[in-house]
Structure 1
């Protein structure tokens, strides 16, 4: 679950589209502090799963269906995106 409160603005550094969907790499700082592979991240309000990460960025894979029914299909390298980590059970909302 997400609060809808943007934690930071990230930036798309890589976007590889294929018939099987797309893989995006997003440069970030704040959300990287405790982000793990398998975590959910809201990218412009779209819930995506982290498939890899480094110190400065993380990658997500996007299905063809998600590309067609969300704004993700129009994303491009260099585009800024709103980022938010999923809530933890013990966090306040807001």
Structure 2
């Protein structure tokens, strides 16, 4: 007859303190604020960065891609041209 071997387990130690995760500073500062609530000046720069990242990864960006990122249709219409020009300048095309 075969026997089943099991590893020895220590009894659990109750804890009265919940572990609190510590988020490193480099992660806490890397979050992007919601795009729909950004003021226009900041939004143009962020949209330009989104366009550059998408151009690098996927070869380009569409209006639907920007909507998925959190941009509103009104922002895309209002800020899209300025953001595209800024993205091209940052990429060194202009």
TM-score category by the smaller chain? under 0.3
Instruction: Point out the structure with the larger helix share.
Output: 2
| Larger RCO, structure (CA 8 Å, separation 6 or more) | 1
- TM-score, normalised to structure 2, is 0.23
Is the strand fraction higher in 1 or 2? Answer: 1
Which has the greater radius of gyration? 2
